[in-house]
Structure formats: C-alpha cells, structure tokens
C-alpha cells in the first residue's frame, strides 16, 4: 500500500486539532509531541510491514492511545481542557470522552475551531498564516521560512508569539460564538492570502508555491463543507481557488519559465478543478449579498471559459473589476481593470485608465504595474518606451522566475 502524497502533513493538522481539544489549547506543545510520536511509530512499523489499509485511521488511533496514556499519567500534574472539566479525572468517563472527540465529525469540528483560533484578530495576518501553516498544515519552521522567503528565526519568533496568544485564549474558538460571522471573514481572508502567497508570492521554487495554493484550497474546502462555515462567500472563495489552482500547471512552462495568462497552454489547465469551480460558483449564488470572492471567482470563471485571450469576454471582466473596486478598492484592482479595459477597447484606453488610478504611487514597487505599461506601449509600437517600462519591471522582480519573464519582454521590444 502506497502512502498518498503529503498524508503526514494533512494528518498532522487533524491530529493536533483533536489533541488540543482534549489537552486544552495551552498544552499545544504536548499535542505536538503526541503527533510526532505517532509519526515515529508509523515510520517504525510501516517501514517493514508496509502501510495499513487506512493510514489516516491508523495514525488517529495511535495518537488516541498515546493521548489516553498521557492523560492517565499526567492528570494530577497538569490541567487539561477546561471544557471537559472533571470528565478526564475518572476512568469511567475518560475513554468514552476521548473516543467521542476522535470520531470523524468531531475531528472536522476540531479542525475548524483550530482554524478560527489561529485567525485571532489580535494577530497580524502574517502571524495567522504562519500559525495555520504550522499547526494545521504541518509545515515546520524552515518549511514556512522557505515558503515566505523569510528566515527561520523570524518565523520562529512569529510562531512563538502566535502560540502565546492562542494559549492565552484558554479555549479554542467556539463555533456557536456570537462573533462567528466576523471571525469567519478573518479566516476567509487568511486563506485567501495564503493562496495568493503561493500564486503570486516571492518564493522562487515553484513546488513550494503550488503547495501553499493546494493547502489553502484544502482548508477552504473543509470550511466550505461544514454546515456553519459553508456560507455563500466561503463557497465563492472555494470556487475562486479552484479556478486559479486549475491554472497552476500552465503558469510555468516545461523549461521552468513563468507564462502569462494570454500565452498559457490552456489544455494544461486542470479540467476537474475547473468543473469543481463552476459547481461551487453556482452553489455560491444563493445568498443575500455578493462578496469580493464572488466577483473574483466570476472573473476567474470567465478566463477559464475562454479558449484564448482573444476570445475572452473582456467587456464583462471590465465590469466585474468595476464591481470589485466598489467592494474592495485598491490600486492593484484598478490596475487589473485598466489591463482588461486595454484588452477590450485597445491600449490607448488602457493607458488612460492606468493614468487615472488613485494612489498610483502605491504601485511604484509593483513590477506588474510597469509590465502593464510596457505591454500597452508595445502594442502601440512605441518600442523604446515599452523597453524602459519592462526594464523597470525587471529591476523590481521578486524572484528569478519573474526576472527571466521580464527579461524576455525587454528582449521582445
């Protein structure tokens, strides 16, 4: 029996989520030890005997047995989850209570509660993301540092601070809490940023980038599948990620170069993810209000519907970016609208729209701002001007892959 890719990583999050419910969030380190122990045991046993038929269940059962040992051994020395009160003190209740928390629907609830806890409003977004990756996605400090192009000590510091905030909360976020809706939007935002970090982020290595995207997609699917958090906006976010993840295989060509949307080989888009995105987008439509994720997912769906850049419904995309500007105005959204307008009505209109962007100075370090100017100037035949813009973009490139991409554009002028 083969082990599925990233199984340990995925199960780490599930085990931690349940174990912290049993031990209490202040005993997160203890939960992490039990998880590590389960992996050691898996390594020892599976290496010669092969993986069991249901590796996830095996790991969960191993963690549960170990948890019960720990509870018996340390119940006088430690306080465990305050919610469970005295239930862990008595042999009559200990095993049934732990059994119940380890059953699959409770595991999902635990995972969600941990997700909500990691997105504590007291924490900066970057700390929320580090916690989500560490606790729920099983990423180690060096792995997070590699994904965010940061140093391991910096990430370590961020995590220590984050875990202190988690522990200070004393209990995991309660899904029936009054500020559920508000916290849900923080969670959505964190997952959105996690996906974008993988999609547009600075990390050069493409494998790391797509892993971040797939983790964000996985967690969002869990969020969307739960009766409380599967709101229309969560479904829309899930749709958006499905569409964008579908394009991941085509973003980098076989020789490792970044490929723009217009030049991507659309046959390499993942048809199953596109279909999943469509289905989610349809299901997301039965709400009262339209979220920014609805609009972004609608834009992404138009791209995936088109056979080429030329046959894309740019008019519709311009309108949707207009709607997005109302929901979440930003210079980057305005820039994307201008680019779409350039496609729809020609480069002069596009350039005019760019010149009208408010706060355009906030794009001064954004390479794709200069790249957009370059593309439109190039279309107008002003090669020299275009070249200067692409050179500016190249200067600002955040990874080797981006740098090579802009270098190609400079050469095209």
Partner 1 sequence: MSEFMFLYCGGNPPTGSPEQMQKQTQKWMAWIKDLGEKGHLKEAGHPLERSGKIVKGSPKMITDGPFAEAKDLIGGYSVVLAKDLSGAAELTAGCPILDIGGFVEVRPIMRM
Could you list the residues that contact partner 1 (CB under 8 A)?
Answer: 2-3, 6-9, 11-12, 35, 39-40, 42-51, 138-140, 142-143
Shorter beta-carbon distance to partner 1: residue 34 or 372: 34
Q: How far is the CB of 11 from partner 1 (least distance, A)?
A: 8
Beta carbon of residue 99, minimum distance to partner 1 (angstroms, whole number): 24
User: In 9-167, which ranges are E strands?
Assistant: none
Nearest to 283 by CA among 249, 313, 242: 242
258 phi, psi to nearest 5 deg: -65, 140
For residue 28, the minimal CB distance to partner 1 (Å) is: 16
Q: Show the DSSP H helices in 262-313 as ranges.
A: 271-283, 292-305
- First vs last Cα of the chain: how many Å apart? 54
**Least distance in angstroms from the C-beta of 16 to partner 1:** 10
> Is the Cβ–Cβ distance between 286 and 313 less than 8 Å?
no
**Nearer to partner 1 among residue 59 and residue 246 (C-beta):** 59
Cβ proximity to partner 1, 143 vs 296, nearer residue: 143
Query: Of 12 and 393, which CB lies nearer to partner 1 in the complex structure?
Result: 12
> How far apart (Å, rounded) are the C-alpha atoms in residues 68 and 18?
13
Which residue, 8 or 102, is less far from partner 1 as judged by CB? 8
Determine phi and psi for 297, rounding to 5 degrees: -65, -40
CB of 90 to partner 1, least distance (A): 28
Q: Per the structure block, which two tokens stand in for 256?
A: 């490792």
d(CA 363, CA 351): 15
CB under 8 Å to 405, separation ≥6 — which residues?
A: 257, 258, 260, 397
Task: Report how far residue 251's alpha carbon sits from residue 201's, in angstroms, rounded to the nearest whole number.
Answer: 13
Closer residue to partner 1 in complex, CB, 3/261: 3
Chain centroid offset of residue 68 CA: 33
CB of 148 to partner 1, least distance (A): 15
Write phi, then psi, for 252 (nearest 5 degrees): -120, 125
Neighbours of 168 (CB within 10 A): 11
Quote the tokens at residue 110.
């635990």
| Smallest distance, partner 1 to C-beta of residue 47, A | 3
Q: Whole-angstrom Cα distance, residue 240 to residue 248?
A: 13
Which residue lies nearer to partner 1 by CB, 36 or 365? 36
Question: Smallest distance, Å, CB 143 to partner 1?
Answer: 6
Query: Which residue's CB is nearer to partner 1, number 7 or number 149?
Result: 7
* Tokens found for residue 325: 């500007």
Whether 15 and 34 have beta carbons less than 8 Å apart is answered as yes
Q: Which is nearer to partner 1, 40 or 103 (CB)?
A: 40
* Residue 7, CA atoms < 13 Å, CB-side half-sphere: 15
Q: How far is the CB of 45 from partner 1 (least distance, A)?
A: 6
Nearest residue (CB) to partner 1, 3 versus 181: 3
Report how far residue 94's alpha carbon sits from residue 99's, in angstroms, rounded to the nearest whole number: 9
> Least distance in Å: CB of 106 to partner 1?
22
143 vs 197 by CB, closer to partner 1? 143
Of 70, 57, 1, the C-alpha closest to 29 is 70
Instruction: Please report the DSSP string for 188-220 in residue order.
Output: HHHHHHHHHHHHH-S---HHHHHHHHHHHHHHH
Shortest CB 43 distance to partner 1, Å:
5
């Amino acid at each position: 029996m083969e082990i599925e890719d990233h199984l340990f990583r995925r199960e780490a999050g599930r085990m931690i989520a349940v174990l912290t419910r049993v031990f209490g969030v202040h005993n997160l380190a203890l939960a992490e030890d039990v998880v590590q122990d389960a992996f050691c045991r898996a390594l020892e046993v599976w290496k010669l005997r092969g993986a069991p038929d249901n590796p996830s269940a095996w790991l969960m059962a191993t963690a549960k047995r170990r948890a019960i040992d720990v509870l018996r051994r340390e119940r006088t020395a430690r306080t465990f989850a305050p919610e469970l009160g005295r239930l862990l003190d008595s042999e009559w209740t200990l095993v049934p209570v732990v059994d119940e928390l380890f059953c699959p629907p409770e595991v999902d609830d635990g995972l969600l509660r941990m997700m909500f806890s990691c997105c504590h409003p007291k924490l900066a977004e970057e700390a929320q993301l580090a916690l989500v990756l560490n606790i729920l996605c099983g990423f180690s400090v060096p792995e997070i540092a590699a994904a965010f192009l940061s140093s391991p000590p910096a990430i370590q510091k961020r995590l220590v601070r984050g875990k202190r905030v988690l522990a200070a909360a004393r209990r995991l976020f309660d899904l029936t809490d009054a500020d559920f809706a508000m916290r849900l939007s923080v969670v959505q935002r964190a997952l959105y940023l996690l996906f974008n970090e993988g999609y547009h982020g600075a990390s050069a290595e493409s494998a790391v980038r797509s892993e971040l995207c797939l983790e964000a997609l996985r967690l969002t699917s869990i969020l969307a599948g739960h009766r409380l958090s599967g709101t229309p906006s969560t479904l829309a976010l899930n749709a958006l990620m499905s569409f964008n993840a579908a394009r991941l295989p085509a973003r980098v060509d076989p020789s490792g170069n970044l490929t723009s949307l217009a030049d991507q080989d659309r046959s390499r888009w993942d048809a199953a993810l596109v279909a999943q995105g469509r289905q989610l987008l349809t299901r997301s439509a039965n709400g009262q209000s339209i979220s920014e994720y609805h609009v972004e997912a609608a834009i992404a769906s138009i791209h995936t519907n088109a056979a080429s850049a030329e046959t894309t419904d740019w008019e519709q995309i311009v309108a949707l970016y207009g709607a997005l500007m109302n929901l979440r105005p930003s210079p980057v959204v305005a820039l994307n609208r201008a680019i779409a307008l350039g496609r729809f009505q020609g480069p002069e209109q596009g350039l005019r729209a760019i010149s009208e962007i408010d706060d355009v100075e906030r794009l001064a370090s954004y390479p794709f701002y200069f790249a957009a100017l370059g593309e439109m100037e190039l279309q107008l035949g002003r090669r020299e001007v275009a070249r200067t813009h692409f050179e500016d973009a190249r200067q600002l490139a955040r990874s080797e892959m981006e740098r090579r991409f802009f270098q190609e554009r400079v050469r095209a002028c």
